[in-house]
A = this chain, B = another copy of it.
Amino acid sequence: MATSLKSIRSLVPLLDRVLVQRIKAETKTAGGIFLPESSLEKLNEAKVLAVGPGGLDKEGKRLPMGVSEGDRVLIPQFGGSPVKVGDEEYSLFRDSELLAKIKE
């Protein structure tokens, strides 16, 4: 999805949505050899850039979000809404679609 945004920082997710950027696979091996980008497997890790205020329960109260800005997360193989800012690609997921946090 194309946008005219200058910076991804201007996106403020709504409800329980989470804005993430997929982490790119290393293009250099441990031994220092550069790998062609086409040989790289797409990683299912992403960094959380922004989180919405939480979805609404039936009485209109916010449900807490499971992740915070700065978290690294495991994202599902399918789903999410793509967003393009300049040449960079981002995705918006619903909080409950994220599989796990990554702590390293």
Asked if residues A45 and B3 are in contact (CB atoms below 8 Å), the reply is yes
Chain A 69-81: CB-based contact to B (< 8 A → 1; otherwise 0): 0000110110001
Residue of B1, B45, B56, B102 touching A12 (CB-CB under 8 A): B102
Binding site for B on A (CB under 8 A): 1-7, 10-15, 17, 19, 23, 25-26, 41-45, 52, 56-61, 63-64, 66-67, 73-74, 76-77, 81, 83, 92, 96, 98-104
Name the residue among A43, A99, A100 with the largest chain B CB count within 10 angstroms. Answer: A100
**Contact assessment for B77 and A99 in the assembled complex, using a CB-CB cutoff below 8 Å:** no
CB closest residue in chain B, given A1:
B44
Question: With a CB–CB cut-off of 8 A, which chain B residues contact A45?
Answer: 3-5
